[in-house]
Structure 1
Amino acid sequence: MMLRITIGKRFAMLRDELKGDEPWTQSKVASKTGLTTNQVARLEQSGAGSIDGFLTMLIFYLNQGYNLNWILMEDNEQVGKLFINENTKDIDTQGSIAALQTLKSSLTELLETEIDKVVVKLTP
């Protein structure tokens, strides 16, 4: 749970760092990603939302040049926030894929547990 909140805070931090003619608001990120402003806000505030929304945000920031390992790793102090060059990007992509697979596995287990609880409550 804490990692989700941390990732949400990192999304907000990265949005504040984005450059352009005007500040990047949650509405502007929503417009660029196809998410709603509420989805972006929930992801930034608590890391809550759909897996699709979460992955959409990750892909958005990857396309902005940010390192997915920096976003996803609990302890990211030794990880660069930005890609430095194409060689680094290839290495970081592999690490990001591994981190996403681990996250997917954790989310799947959590979802299964929650579904089991609902089934138990609904079973006569």
Structure 2
Amino acid sequence: METAAFQALVGKRLLEIRTSIKPKLTQMRLAQELDLNQGNIQRLESAGRGTVENLLVILNYYLKQDFNLNYILAEDNSRFTPRLRPEDKVENLDSYFERLE
């Protein structure tokens, strides 16, 4: 898959995750919670464009909300569910990557 297409796919999944959160999680509210600019969120969701730092902040937030990073980041995510199973839950990105080793 081309880089731009993959970035857009990840952006679409970030949007899907955010809009699945109830009560409604707006870009503005997410930006405020993460101390980011709303434009940063919009760029990542619309085209998968933005800084690695902002992407990691957002991924860590979703991980803490028990969302599955494999579902967000895998090119073919058909084997993964959007939410982590109870036995797969972790507290932060470091713990998540330790489990992959």
| Structure 2 unmatched ranges of 5 or more | 91-95
Amino acid at match of 1:28: R
Segments of 4+ moved more than 3 angstroms:
94-98
Deviations 1:78-102 (A, max 9, x none): 11211111x3236xx348867xxxx
RMSD (CA atoms) = 2.1
> Would you say 1:15 and 2:18 are equivalent positions?
yes
TM-score, with length taken from structure 2: 0.83
Spell out, residue by residue over 1:53-80, the C-alpha distance to the aligned partner (whole angstroms, 9 max, x if none): 0111111111111000110000000112
Aligned to 2:89: 89
**Higher relative contact order by CA 8 Å / sep ≥ 6: 1 or 2?**
2
Q: Which amino acid aligns with 1:54?
A: L
Give identity over the alignment, percent: 30
Correspondence list, 1:7-86, <5 A? 7-20=10-23, 23-85=24-86
* Number of equivalences: 94
Residue 97 and residue 42 in structure 1: after superposition, are their counterparts in 2 closer, same or farther (change >3 A)? farther
Query: Match of 1:4?
Result: 7
Aligned amino acid, residue 19 of structure 2: D
Higher fraction of helix: 1
CA distance in structure 1 between the partners assigned to 2:21 and 2:25 by the alignment? 6
| 1:68–1:96 CA contact under 8 A, matched in 2 | no
CA contact (8 A) 2:66 2:89 kept: no
Question: Is the Cα–Cα contact under 8 Å of residues 69 and 95 in structure 1 kept in the other structure?
Answer: no
